[in-house]
């Protein structure tokens, strides 16, 4: 992987936004993931060097957070939740059937697809859940695999599956009365 001067400049700008440069770690990692698609040893060493930390600290974040990866993914990244409520609603069977239909084994990349089982997508009440790039699909079932494939192919063709940038501003209004807003 090649860290471009553009990425390095943006990382420097990100570090300037925080009182302690280590605080920029997640945003720098998002930037590299977005621009390069994955992390290799060079990217880990780059971030660690910029932040003045040991590479193991960056590696720890890389392996803890599921939005980061150490190997290239397909353009269409399908994450099938396998946590209890989704598993009980048939997500594991859905994932296996989907993998068979797309000829892409779970946990691997084949062509434009990467399929993996993940832990909780945070929408347990509407299980079973699948996330495709940044888009959440709820209430999926094994019987609906063919329709699901048709839907993601249509969304891909229209550009609606393009991942959103971690640097885009959130859509919608801010609820200043929300406990999440108040901390």
Q: Is 16 helix (H, G, I), strand (E, B) or coil?
A: coil
108-110 vs 113-118, strand pairing mode: antiparallel
In this structure, are 136 and 110 located in the same domain? yes
The CA-based dihedral angle spanning residues 67, 71, 76, 82, taken in that order and rounded to the nearest 10 degrees: -60
In a domain, 115, yes or no: yes
In a domain, 36, yes or no: yes
Whether the model clears a pTM of 0.75, i.e. scores above it, the answer is: no
Q: Residue 87: which domain range?
A: 76-158
**Number of separate domains in the chain:** 2
Residue from 66, 68, 25 nearest 46 by CA: 25
In this structure, are 9 and 52 located in the same domain? yes
Residue from 6, 55, 15 nearest 35 by CA: 6
List the chain pLDDT tens, one digit each, 183 residues: 789 999 999 999 999 999 999 999 999 999 998 888 889 999 999 999 999 999 999 999 998 887 788 988 899 999 999 999 999 999 999 999 999 999 999 999 999 999 999 988 889 999 999 999 889 999 999 999 999 999 999 999 999 888 777 666 555 555 545 444 444
**DSSP symbol at 161:** T
CATH number at residue 111: 3.40.30.10
């Amino acid at each position: 992987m090649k860290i471009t001067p553009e990425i390095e400049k943006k990382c420097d700008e990100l570090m300037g936004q925080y009182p302690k440069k280590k605080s920029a770690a997640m945003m720098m990692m998002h930037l590299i993931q977005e621009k390069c698609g994955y992390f290799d040893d060079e990217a880990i060493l780059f971030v660690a060097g910029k932040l003045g930390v040991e590479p193991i600290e960056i590696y720890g974040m890389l392996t803890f957070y599921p939005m980061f990866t150490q190997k290239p993914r397909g353009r269409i990244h399908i994450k099938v939740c396998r946590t209890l409520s989704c598993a009980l609603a048939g997500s594991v069977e859905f994932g296996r059937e989907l993998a068979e239909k797309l000829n892409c084994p779970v946990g691997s990349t084949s062509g434009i697809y990467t399929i993996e089982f993940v832990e909780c997508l945070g929408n347990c009440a509407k299980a079973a859940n699948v996330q495709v790039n940044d888009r959440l699909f709820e209430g999926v079932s094994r019987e609906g695999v063919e329709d699901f494939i048709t839907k993601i192919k249509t969304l891909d063709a229209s550009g609606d599956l393009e991942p959103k940038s971690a640097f885009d501003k959130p859509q919608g209004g801010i609820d200043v009365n929300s406990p999440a807003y108040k901390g």
